[in-house]
Chain A
């Protein structure tokens, strides 16, 4: 009894440390310390469990701890900053899988426990299963091992609905009778793993910020339900934090796209190529690097709008170099970050921070938009939908209503783009045809380096 009290007191301190850790993430200056406190809280929870819980067999636990720690460290050290989205997706999946195994053991040890335990285990298996395979698919899409385009086959919604119905029926039998208890458990487990795949496959790469946020909240939820199954308060509290985090980020991402969560998760967005804007008669105007340099050289203020293309071209260091040269030349340089730019919440901020760009130069959409009409040049790098003005005025556009960065209001707009092939969602972008817009075709990194070279030659 005393050891149980001691253990739970340690858990209380752990929970407080998690809370303080998140609180300190509220400011860039305290964030690192916050992360350290949070990780110390985790170490305390693990140590307290090993010390106070009646653990009989240490041998396998130690092997597991050492192996998991080494693999986790290896992955965390090896992953490049451009690979953050897929790495985090993979970690979500592993969290879900671990929870799934824990609940499976709880079920295996006592298949006929009380209703609360059984219900919690049942829910954990479903959420954990979906989290695991769903995260693996998201990881595959983000790391381009799977096609980023939505994978849709006819009847996929019917298949999903059938799988979901089968889980429900399984649940009714599971709780209604004692017959086929274990087979039903395994069937629900298999169906959940299947659902994770078919739910995420039809979602396109550009919607991954939402998917990864939802998976984050699932990872929290499954920790919660596992906490209910094991009657472990720390699991419930920590799971609640993570669940809340995922929900908040999902809402922010959806708002930034002006779409509902249901639409993102079940809409199959971007699968069909829509062409609402009749752009066939218009032509884009290209500009070469030299002419672009003359415009930039005279510019007093420059706003750089990065998108996923920046990450894809690994151009974050090249953009920092150009930014510094512009500043040296007397321009004021800002970076305008759209909430859904990139493949996960905050993706662009991390990339630009990696290139050692001071974080006070990174402006949020609402902060930068009022200043856009005053900007001499907006440089759009690998971004498309987040600067598409048809979101403002074209009611037929699939992205109508989405808030955008008003790059179109700058005096000159340079768009760095590989080719005129349509963007991810296949939506026409009238910005490309605007009078103040000029395309600079080619690899974003090479273009930026060429621009920097012009500045250096001129100096």
Chain B
């Protein structure tokens, strides 16, 4: 039952994703990809949970810390780059 429940959410989310993303014009495909990339950094949530568990060996501590580093890199880098790109899209006459 748990699997069905999770699949239910997955399928609906995929549909929502498709509906939203097909509306993004090719003009903005690079920022779209880099924002999506930043969103994929949501694994940071998993990384925080994993790095903060009570059962910790040396291995899990190292892996957990590295997971947080890379996920944070992904999130912050992704959003910042998207912002930098979007800032440049201007129409003549507007500031």
Contacts and interface: CB of A to CB of B under 8 A. Distances in A.
Interface of A: 15, 18-19, 21-23, 25-26, 28, 31-32, 34-36, 38-39, 42, 45-46, 49-50, 53-58, 60-61, 63-65, 67-69, 71-73, 75-77, 79, 81, 84, 87-88, 91-92, 94-95, 97-99, 101-102, 104-106, 108-109, 116, 212-213, 216, 219-220, 222-224, 226-228, 230-246, 248-249, 252, 337, 339, 344-347, 349-350, 353-354, 356, 358-362, 364
B52 A57 contact: yes
Given A88-B81, A359-B91, 12 more contacts: A19-B20, A22-B21, A25-B28, A60-B61, A64-B65, A220-B36, A222-B43, A232-B45, A243-B17, A245-B17, A349-B29, A364-B25
A240 B12 CA distance: 9
Contact of A65 (B28, B32, B72, B90): B72
A63 B67 CA distance: 12
B35 A25 contact: yes
Contacts of A241: 13, 16-17, 20-21, 36, 39
Nearest to A79: B81
B interface: dominant SS: helix
Contacts of B56: 56-57
A244 B53 CA distance: 31
Interface in B40-95: 40-57, 59-61, 63-93
Given A238-B39, A346-B29, A22 B24 contact: yes
Contact of B71 (A55, A98, A109, A360): A98
Which 9 residue pairs spanning A and B have beta carbons closest together?
Answer: A68-B72, A64-B68, A346-B29, A55-B52, A244-B17, A72-B76, A72-B77, A240-B13, A76-B80
A400 B24 CA distance: 28
Nearest to B32: A25
B72 A69 contact: yes
Nearest to A349: B27
Nearest to A88: B34
Contact of A232 (B21, B46, B88): B46
A73 B76 contact: yes
A429 to B, nearest CB: 24
A440 B37 CA distance: 39
23 contacts: A23-B23, A31-B89, A49-B48, A64-B67, A76-B81, A77-B84, A91-B34, A97-B67, A98-B71, A101-B63, A102-B43, A105-B63, A105-B64, A108-B57, A109-B60, A234-B45, A239-B40, A241-B17, A245-B21, A249-B29, A249-B32, A337-B26, A364-B27
Contacts of B44: 42, 45-46, 98
B52 A58 contact: yes
Contacts of A354: 88
Contacts of B40: 92, 95, 216, 219-220, 222-223, 238-239, 242
Nearest to A116: B3
A245 B36 contact: yes
B24 A345 contact: no
A75 B43 contact: no
Contacts of A81: 85, 88
Given A102-B43, A346-B31, A35 B50 contact: no
